[in-house]
Amino acid sequence: MVTRPPKHDIDESKLTVRPRQTHAVGVPGVVNSLKISLEQMGVKRTAETLLRVNQKDGFDCPGCAWPEEDRRHMAEFCENGAKAVAEEATIRRIGPEFFAEHSIEELRSHDDWWLGQQGRLTHPMILDEGATHYRPLSWDEALDILADELRALDDPDEAVFYTSGRTSNEAAFLYQLLVRGYGTNNLPDCSNMCHESSGSALGQTLGIGKGTVSITDIHDADLLIIAGQNPGTNHPRMLTALEKAKQRGATIVAINPLPEAGLLHFKNPQTARGMILGGTQLTDDFVQIRLGGDQALFIGIGKHLIEQHAIRGGVLDTTFIDAHTSGYAEYAEAAEQVSWNEIEVATGLDEKRIRELAERVRASSKTIVCWAMGLTQHKHSVATLRDVVNVLLLQGNIGRPGAGVCPVRGHSNVQGDRTMGIYEKPPTDFLDALDEEFAFTAPREHGYDTVAAIRAMDAGKVRFFLAVGGNFVSATPDTAIVESGMAKTGLTAHVSTKLNRSHVVTGRRAIILPTLGRTDRDRRGSGDQRVTVEDSMGAVHGSRGRLEPPSSDMLSEVAILARLCERVFAGREDAPRADWQALEGDYARIRDHISRVVPGFERYEERIQKGRTFYLPNPPRDTRQFATATGKAMFTANRLEYPHIPAGRVLLQTLRSHDQYNTTIYGKDDRYRGIHDGRRVVLTHPDDIHEQGFEDGDIVDVVSEWHGPNGLEERRAEEFRLVSYDTPRRNAAAYYPETNVLVPLESFADDSGTPTSKSIIVRFARRG
């Protein structure tokens, strides 16, 4: 049963709303993923592929960055991992005939679901200036055009190089070398819109922009706090780890405005208990917080712990605080200043409720806080995360087994890309090592992050845009500005597996370079190649695809980038020196370079052989050493912030449905939340629907309100259905990317620049 790609876009009139579910996975999860796999891959390929996900010496799942439990066992079943694999391993293809048939204008009229469903890209294509259709061209022609264009710019800073987090370590390393050898640090990436706030807060306070726990710490924790994360959909394999922790006696607390199914109850398809018996109740305590109230909540917890320590003693880890931290007194003073009244307003929870939760923290001797986008995509996200760190420091929960911070990353190699230097603000020691290895001088001036890149495009300062993966146009905020910024760019080019909106909303000229994905066999000079990736917990391992690539004329990301380096650097005395053809022919040679540039990768090749995994050094976790401004883990005194919502307005968060991977839409259902056959819904408290003069089921425009330099700015997303939902008053939720039109470019987090995708003031407007 292999179905054909859809002929029409999503028809929202078919949308139905059913009761939301309280259990994650179980039989419906298995059925749903099998249905999608069979549709995209057929029976044989489904069997071949799904058995190889995350197996020893198999391929790394292109889904999320959650680590493997134990790579020697059979692939852990994960509904959304299976969907991610099916999306890539599909047997649908789009080659030159497809582009001859569909004009650029027609393609632009389709949604991201339709575009992605058409199949894998197989051939390099170009859209000439003024042309109505993409036409095929050879690899040499395509790469020559890119190199010529780059060499023709007046200033390297007129070029922007975007990365999405699926790129392997090897490709990412070559990519940043290309960009720095060319002369700029303009390396915005998806991380700027994702965990940048985590990196900023953890870098400042702990001296490393990464988490401090391993998978065994999760199993061993006493208390797991999961804040601003929906693992049932976005990190389903995390549920297995939570179940294990639970069986060992851990307490799990979920902090979320929405009662997310996966957080509450899990039916593990791997066990009889999960499939036949009732499954495991994961969450002991669901704390239904208001959007953006987390900083207040953690300050409240901190206040309670400090107070209890004064009353009964023994609550704080004073030995740890004295030996390993700075700034305790200032923090304690600042926390004391914050009134319970304000904490109650910000969180929507009463003092008693918060103290109950704080008592769980007090009673635990090993606490981990896990979080994702609910904590990182607010204006005050960095301060919020610094206050999370404060609470953990109080009890010495950093650098102790079963305890620590756990930012749960999104893309499967987003953390590795950063380790490899995909960063607009590279540290000098990294650049020094790079200079030495390749005998050149990398630029020191910081480059554009995502928001800055969009501003520069909008100002007409960008003449060249290259993306390795991702969907810049749909993933970024303020769609109208991004689309006009793209149009002002001379040449936009994408290294991609699947068609998306960024290929059809383009610069004056555009190029598509089709590439291999994780599941594809990658044959190069020295034989079948593996690439490597780093998971959310700093463990590095190999990944090797086995499927025949969609066409024989495709290149890997590594090969494309090596050939670009060769062309761009040809004849330039000041360019990085390396044997580009040799690197393309044998990725072990790239790893050899990496092993000398990036600390922690010594003996790289040996340590990834035969499916082995190694952990990168993590000084806070390993030895309680903190490379911060004070040389210690830093308590910080942060001013309390939270969103202020004007009367008659609601605060909108934009999130993922169960059937999507960011801008890739797998299907039209959000099963756990009860939404079927459509996506244009706003989940809203019934009283807010009525207060704004509407009824459940009404179709409205959603209008965002932003106070910019020129006064009130309005942005409009048309035709959304109001759906009554269990959410705090004045808090609403709708899916991204459809709602990105509402997110003002100038609304981003302090310190990290992350767009405030979880915090947009909106009202509902009658359709005129």
Ligand X SMILES: Nc1nc2c(c(=O)[nH]1)N[C@H]1C(S)=C(S)[C@@H](COP(=O)(O)OP(=O)(O)OC[C@H]3O[C@@H](n4cnc5c(=O)[nH]c(N)nc54)[C@H](O)[C@@H]3O)O[C@H]1N2
Report in angstroms how near the CB of residue 473 gets to ligand X at its nearest: 9
Task: Identify what 730 binds: ligand X, Mo ion, none; CB under 5 to 8 Å per kind.
Answer: none
Q: Which range in 6-14, 21-29, 408-416, 494-502 contacts Mo ion by CB under 5 A? A: 408-416
- Taking the least distance from each CB to ligand X, the nearer of 119 and 576 is 119
Say how many Å lie between the first and final Cα of the chain, rounded: 44
Report in angstroms how near the CB of residue 29 gets to ligand X at its nearest: 12
Encode 605-667 in three state secondary structure. Answer: HHHHHHHCEEECCCHHHHHCCCCCCCCCEECCCCCCCCCCCCCCCEEEEEECCCCEECCEECC
Which residue in the set 171, 174, 194, 388 belongs to the binding site for Mo ion (CB under 5 A)? 194
- Taking the least distance from each CB to Mo ion, the nearer of 21 and 660 is 660
Report in angstroms how near the CB of residue 399 gets to ligand X at its nearest: 25
Q: What would the two tokens of residue 305 be? A: 């712990």
CA distances from 116 to 86, 395, 454 (A): 12, 48, 24
Q: Which range in 138-146, 189-197, 512-520, 592-600 contacts Mo ion by CB under 5 A? A: 189-197
**Where along the sequence are the contacts to ligand X (CB under 6 A)?**
63-64, 80, 116, 164, 166, 190, 193-194, 227-230, 233-235, 255-258, 260, 289, 291-292, 294, 372-374, 410-411, 468-472, 475, 495-498, 500, 515, 517, 557, 653-656, 660-664, 736, 739-740, 743, 757-758
Distance CA 4, CA 409 (A): 33
Report in angstroms how near the CB of residue 167 gets to Mo ion at its nearest: 14
Distance CA 65, CA 168 (A): 12
Distance CA 637, CA 627 (A): 19
- Taking the least distance from each CB to ligand X, the nearer of 187 and 634 is 187
CA distances from 454 to 110, 275, 476 (A): 23, 48, 9
Residue ranges in 1-122 assigned as alpha helix (H) = 26-50, 79-89, 96-101, 104-108, 112-117
Strand blocks (E) in 675-743:
675-676, 681-684, 699-708, 711-724, 731-735
Q: How many other CB atoms sit within 10 Å of the CB of residue 64? A: 27
Report in angstroms how near the CB of residue 317 gets to ligand X at its nearest: 26
Name residues whose C-beta falls within 8 Å of residue 429's C-beta, 6 or more positions apart in sequence. Answer: none
Report in angstroms how near the CB of residue 195 gets to ligand X at its nearest: 7
- Taking the least distance from each CB to ligand X, the nearer of 395 and 479 is 479
Task: Identify what 289 binds: ligand X, Mo ion, none; CB under 5 to 8 Å per kind.
Answer: ligand X
- Taking the least distance from each CB to ligand X, the nearer of 400 and 563 is 563
Distance CA 385, CA 197 (A): 8
Q: What one-character DSSP code corresponds to residue 555?
A: B
DSSP, collapsed to helix, strand or coil, labels residue 418 as: helix
CA 546 from chain centre, in angstroms, equals 26
- Taking the least distance from each CB to Mo ion, the nearer of 200 and 280 is 200
Picking from 513, 465, 469, 470, the residue whose alpha carbon sits closest to that of residue 487 is: 465
- Taking the least distance from each CB to ligand X, the nearer of 136 and 228 is 228
Distance CA 59, CA 551 (A): 19
Window 652-691: residues binding Mo ion (CB under 5 A): none
- Taking the least distance from each CB to ligand X, the nearer of 325 and 377 is 377
Window 409-448: residues binding Mo ion (CB under 5 A): 410
Report in angstroms how near the CB of residue 651 gets to ligand X at its nearest: 9
Number of residues engaging Mo ion in binding (CB under 5 A): 2
Report in angstroms how near the CB of residue 294 gets to ligand X at its nearest: 5
- Taking the least distance from each CB to ligand X, the nearer of 743 and 745 is 743
Task: Identify what 64 binds: ligand X, Mo ion, none; CB under 5 to 8 Å per kind.
Answer: ligand X
Task: Identify what 674 binds: ligand X, Mo ion, none; CB under 5 to 8 Å per kind.
Answer: none
Distance CA 492, CA 258 (A): 39
Task: Identify what 638 binds: ligand X, Mo ion, none; CB under 5 to 8 Å per kind.
Answer: none
Report in angstroms how near the CB of residue 740 gets to ligand X at its nearest: 5
Task: Identify what 498 binds: ligand X, Mo ion, none; CB under 5 to 8 Å per kind.
Answer: ligand X
Task: Identify what 124 binds: Mo ion, ligand X, none; CB under 5 to 8 Å per kind.
Answer: none
Task: Identify what 233 binds: Mo ion, ligand X, none; CB under 5 to 8 Å per kind.
Answer: ligand X
Cis peptide before 427 (omega within 30 of 0): no
- Taking the least distance from each CB to Mo ion, the nearer of 63 and 136 is 63
Task: Identify what 727 binds: ligand X, Mo ion, none; CB under 5 to 8 Å per kind.
Answer: none
Task: Identify what 288 binds: ligand X, Mo ion, none; CB under 5 to 8 Å per kind.
Answer: none
Q: What would the two tokens of residue 392 be? A: 């953990």
- Taking the least distance from each CB to Mo ion, the nearer of 410 and 576 is 410
Report in angstroms how near the CB of residue 396 gets to ligand X at its nearest: 24
Does the footprint of Mo ion cover residue 542 (CB under 5 A)?
A: no
Q: How many other CB atoms sit within 10 Å of the CB of residue 345? A: 15
Task: Identify what 372 binds: ligand X, Mo ion, none; CB under 5 to 8 Å per kind.
Answer: ligand X
- Taking the least distance from each CB to Mo ion, the nearer of 410 and 447 is 410
Distance CA 544, CA 559 (A): 16
For 682-705, give one letter per residue: b (16+ CB within 10 A) or e.
Answer: bbbbbebbebbebeeebbbbbbbb
- Taking the least distance from each CB to ligand X, the nearer of 232 and 327 is 232
738, 763 Cβ separation under 8 angstroms: no
Task: Identify what 664 binds: ligand X, Mo ion, none; CB under 5 to 8 Å per kind.
Answer: ligand X
Report in angstroms how near the CB of residue 406 gets to ligand X at its nearest: 13
**Angle between helices 587-597 and 169-182 in degrees, nearest 10:** 70
CA 92 from chain centre, in angstroms, equals 26
Task: Identify what 743 binds: Mo ion, ligand X, none; CB under 5 to 8 Å per kind.
Answer: ligand X
Task: Identify what 29 binds: ligand X, Mo ion, none; CB under 5 to 8 Å per kind.
Answer: none
549, 521 Cβ separation under 8 angstroms: yes
Task: Identify what 758 binds: Mo ion, ligand X, none; CB under 5 to 8 Å per kind.
Answer: ligand X
Picking from 209, 258, 114, 130, the residue whose alpha carbon sits closest to that of residue 536 is: 209
Report in angstroms how near the CB of residue 713 gets to ligand X at its nearest: 17
The residue whose two tokens read 């405030």 is: 756
- Taking the least distance from each CB to ligand X, the nearer of 506 and 739 is 739
250, 216 Cβ separation under 8 angstroms: no
Parallel/antiparallel/unpaired status of strands 491-496 and 280-281: unpaired
Report in angstroms how near the CB of residue 760 gets to Mo ion at its nearest: 18
Task: Identify what 40 binds: Mo ion, ligand X, none; CB under 5 to 8 Å per kind.
Answer: none
Distance CA 92, CA 367 (A): 47
SS3 content of the chain, % helix, strand, coil (to 5): 40, 20, 40
Distance CA 430, CA 449 (A): 18
Distance CA 661, CA 413 (A): 14
Q: Which range in 298-306, 407-415, 577-585, 603-611 contacts Mo ion by CB under 5 A? A: 407-415
- Taking the least distance from each CB to ligand X, the nearer of 419 and 663 is 663
Task: Identify what 468 binds: Mo ion, ligand X, none; CB under 5 to 8 Å per kind.
Answer: ligand X
- Taking the least distance from each CB to ligand X, the nearer of 149 and 196 is 196
- Taking the least distance from each CB to Mo ion, the nearer of 192 and 367 is 192
Where do contacts with Mo ion occur on this chain (CB under 5 A)?
194, 410
